[in-house]
Structure 1
């Protein structure tokens, strides 16, 4: 009888540890990425006065800048949450956009959040191919009827 109670206690402990471990695996994990300068640093920038170099000196250069027209600085910060086996989900995003005039003087400072976001279709530069989702073997077997002896003349 004593062995049965000892075995049941061990089973309860094992089940408890298993439950604790399973619940621990479902704990949300957060990942922060990017940088947005603090408000105190942004207050040092004066629209219409500061230039690209003075902005870089005061708050640092961003990871992203205007790619096509060199028009602005873009600071981006995001936070993602992963919950167990589920895919990461972005729960917070903030973009700080500083635009400059042609002369390189600050024109505007704007903040955007995740709720302001929208999907932007970027230009795709993909070379089109005559191969339409066919495997190598299908392409090889498909060309058997098109081979002629005239193609072997050098």
Structure 2
């Protein structure tokens, strides 16, 4: 009986330790942003896209419409127990280029500078109703007729 109570006691202590460990704050870092010292190594009007990539590596993104700049993004996300993850820090560095690919400006943004941008999910309706493959095939039985088949009198085969 004495060993049974010890097992129960250790099991309860283990469960308590696991529950406390799950509530620990964890941070995740994503992305890369060059430091101020590294950004100082860029000479505006002289450095090109290639020299920037050689210095900092490939960007997180580039100009969406006209490939006018490189965008470096770093985010720090806080996880605490079962609560929703929260972005606690975000740094964005945009290096702008002219049409010849020469660096013209450097802009730095932080989380405080940002604005919420709502994204919309657009789905094209393909006209297929819900259901499996067999239901769709079964629904097509009887939809075929001789009017759609080519004939010798119309001259199209």
Is the TM-score greater than 0.5?
A: yes
Correspondence for 1:109: 106
Which residue of the partner structure matches residue 119 of structure 1?
Answer: 117
Q: Equivalent residue for 2:37?
A: 40
In structure 2, the gaps of 5 or more residues are 152-157
Aligned counterpart in structure 1 of residue 9 of structure 2, from 9, 12, 15 = 12
Contact 1:92 1:114 in 2 (8 A): yes
User: Per the alignment, do residues 88 and 136 of structure 1 end up closer, same or farther by CA in structure 2, a change over 3 Å counting?
Assistant: farther
Q: How many aligned positions are there?
A: 150
Secondary structure, counterpart of 2:20 in structure 1: helix
**Is the aligned partner of 1:66 residue 2:63?**
yes
More displaced 10-residue stretch of structure 1: 90-99 or 138-147: 138-147
Q: Secondary structure at the match of 2:11?
A: helix
Q: What residue is the counterpart of 1:76 in the other structure? A: 73
| TM-score, structure 2 normalization | 0.69
CA drift of 1:130 comes to 2.3
28-37 vs 81-90, greater mean Cα deviation: 81-90
* Inter-CA distance 57–35: structure 2 relative to 1 (3 Å threshold): same
What is the match of residue 31 of structure 1?
A: 28
Seen in structure 2, the aligned counterparts of structure 1 residues 17 and 100 have a Cα distance that, compared at 3 Å, is same
For residue 35 of structure 1, report the CA deviation from its aligned partner: 0.7
Q: Structure 1 residues 127, 18: closer, same or farther in 2, change over 3 A? A: closer
